[in-house]
A and B are shown apart, each in its own frame.
Chain A
Amino acid sequence: MSSVLTEDLGPRGRHRVQIANWISLLAVLAIVAFVIYRIAVTGNFAPELYEQFVNLDEGWLEFVIAGLGNTIKAALIAMVFATAIGFFFALARIARNPISRALARVYIDVFRSIPLLLLILFGFFGIQQFFDISQLIGLIIGLTLYNSAVLAEIFRAGILSLSKGQSEAASSLGMTYWQSMQLVILPQAVRRMTPAIVAQLATLTKDTSLGFVIGYEEALRRAGALAQAPPSNQLQAFVFAGILYFIVIFALARFARRLEVQQRRKYGAGKMEAGAGLEDIEALGEEADEDEMAAREPEPAVSG
């Protein structure tokens, strides 16, 4: 067993696990059966509720999938801005000047503490007071404010995770601060942070659904419009939107995990401390730990 809690079981233990397997399997099946039963008795298997997804003439399927395109567009643009601004604040946060450090710290702490929903409302309705901006821009402003603060912490963690000897060696070669940053620190740090950045892109894509609240036409809002049109099929439409989002987010999360595992194989684990709001990135590190363990497990069996 892979857990610290159980050893290899004896015959009696295995027998008990066997029984527990059957009982829990039945319990899971019972839950599934109950859900299917409820869907059936409430008439939610009626074919007309699914017609909109199959009947291509009406254009609903295209309409919702194009919404996913809008989701990806907003996520990508926000990611570019958030990365640039986050990088700037990360450098300001570790600079030697105490004023720049304090200002960067305030920016990062404040924008990480405010719910993204509030920032998106602010980005759209607040800015609209002065400029006539579209929902897309409002959403991008909200996403950028939040994610630049989160990314700044990722960059900082990546830079600080390098051994101090690296910058000391660089300055003993006579490099200036910027030279050592460019030639020594950043190339190594960026490599180390790439998986965390990709994981944050997955989180950002997930959060783009909040564009709903300001009326941005992403996949969820379009699925909502589809549900409003007769026949009223909220359940089916939101499950459909969920699946669309899931595919994109899951693919990105998988990609991030593969990068992390690859990186550890090549360069060893460089621990990055993640902070508040980075729950997906923390999970990423744990998953990679596991994959590594799983990859290593067979070895002692061969040698021993």
Chain B
Amino acid sequence: MNPITFLIDNWDLYIDGFIRLFQAANLAFVFAMVVGVVIASFRVSPIRPLQRFAAFYVTVFRNTPLLIIFFLFFFGLPKLGFTFTPFVSTVIVMSLYTGAYLGETVRSGINSVDTGQAEAARAIGLNFREVLGTVVIPQALRTVVGPIGNLYIANAKNTVIGTTIGLFVETTAAQRLANSTGQPIAAFAAAAIFFVVWLLIAAQVFTSIEQRVAFKR
């Protein structure tokens, strides 16, 4: 059967999984921004223990498979007396994981601003908050819009791993239908349609934001 008719026949199950995935991914991305900003500010701060902690955090999360982090969180933490539902676990794991990448992106954005800009701002008497808020951050944001868009897409794709700890998402729907109907190709292709549409639109949105805020030279 072709994927489109298959999709229409099983629309309810697919859209159910998609909504859950969309919620988890976007919620996680919002929290990941918070984690990322915290990690980045630790790394640019002059306080040594915080720098070290942030560097350690980023190294661990970037070099460990996401699936293992999911398992540790969902099967390991209950052994220490902490238990979360699959949805909450997925959101927390994804915000920690994507947050590590976002932290590096934000930091590189801050460092991409020329030192002279901050020096000039201090020279005309702006205090730390004004230097940061009116001079550094507006310039830093422009350079990180593209990379943040890429991370949004990566985060969305990675969130489906929540299916392995029992969260009902798009891929869970596809897997179930593949089993019950015996048509895995149509079932998986129908799920893929959602991602291609969603993420190509997201990429387009981020590209247009990037062009809008780009330096006009």
A249 lies within 8 A of B80 (CB): no
> How many interface residues does B have (CB within 8 Å)?
70
A125–B76 CA distance with the chains assembled, in angstroms: 29
Query: A301 an interface residue at 8 Å Cβ cutoff?
Result: no
For chain B, residues 148 to 186, give those with C-beta under 8 angstroms from any C-beta of chain A.
Answer: 149-151, 153-154, 157-158, 160-161, 163-164, 170-171, 174-175, 178, 184-185
Query: A39 an interface residue at 8 Å Cβ cutoff?
Result: yes
Point out the residues of chain A lying under 8 angstroms from B20, CB to CB. Answer: none
Point out the residues of chain B lying under 8 angstroms from A56, CB to CB. Answer: none
For chain A, residues 68 to 85, give those with C-beta under 8 angstroms from any C-beta of chain B.
Answer: none
A-B residue pair count with CB separations less than 8 angstroms:
188
For chain A, residues 245 to 304, give those with C-beta under 8 angstroms from any C-beta of chain B.
Answer: 245-246, 249-250, 253, 274-280, 282-283, 286, 289-290
Identify the interface centre among A3, A109, A220: most chain B CB within 10 Å of its CB: A3
B161 lies within 8 A of A117 (CB): yes
Dominant secondary structure at the B interface: helix
Known interface pairs A1-B46, A6-B46; A126-B185 also in contact (CB < 8 Å): yes
A245 lies within 8 A of B64 (CB): yes
Dominant secondary structure at the A interface: helix
A250–B151 CA distance with the chains assembled, in angstroms: 21
B118 lies within 8 A of A5 (CB): yes
A130-142 interface mask toward B, CB cutoff 8 Å, 1 = contact, 0 = none?
Answer: 0000000000000
Query: B72 an interface residue at 8 Å Cβ cutoff?
Result: yes
What distance in Å separates the Cβ of A194 from its nearest Cβ neighbour in chain B? 20
Query: A53 an interface residue at 8 Å Cβ cutoff?
Result: no
- Identity of the chain B residue whose Cβ is nearest the Cβ of A235 in the assembled complex: B76
- Identity of the chain A residue whose Cβ is nearest the Cβ of B132 in the assembled complex: A5
B188 lies within 8 A of A118 (CB): yes
Query: A60 an interface residue at 8 Å Cβ cutoff?
Result: no
Contact of A235 among B62, B80, B119, B192 (CB under 8 A): B80
Query: A113 an interface residue at 8 Å Cβ cutoff?
Result: yes
Query: B59 an interface residue at 8 Å Cβ cutoff?
Result: yes
Listed stretches A19-27, A89-97, A159-167, A174-182; interface member:
A19-27
B65 lies within 8 A of A115 (CB): no
- Identity of the chain B residue whose Cβ is nearest the Cβ of A37 in the assembled complex: B80
Point out the residues of chain A lying under 8 angstroms from B160, CB to CB. Answer: 115, 117-118
A238 lies within 8 A of B158 (CB): no
What distance in Å separates the Cβ of A27 from its nearest Cβ neighbour in chain B? 8
- Chain A positions within 8 Å of B, measured between CB atoms, are 1, 3-7, 9, 17, 20-21, 24-25, 27-28, 38-39, 41-42, 44, 109-110, 113-118, 121-122, 125-126, 128-129, 202, 206-210, 212-213, 220, 224, 227, 234-235, 238-239, 241-242, 245-246, 249-250, 253, 274-280, 282-283, 286, 289-290
What are 8 A-B interface contacts by the 8 Å CB criterion?
Answer: A3-B111, A5-B110, A121-B171, A206-B64, A234-B79, A276-B150, A276-B203, A280-B62
- Chain B positions within 8 Å of A, measured between CB atoms, are 44, 46-50, 53, 59-60, 62-69, 71-72, 75-77, 79-81, 101, 104-105, 108, 110-111, 113-115, 117-119, 122, 128, 131-132, 136, 147, 149-151, 153-154, 157-158, 160-161, 163-164, 170-171, 174-175, 178, 184-185, 188-189, 191-192, 195-196, 199-200, 203
In addition to A4-B110, A25-B49, A283-B101, 11 A-B residue pairs with Cβ atoms within 8 Å of each other are A24-B53, A38-B81, A113-B196, A118-B192, A122-B185, A206-B66, A234-B71, A250-B59, A274-B150, A277-B150, A279-B150
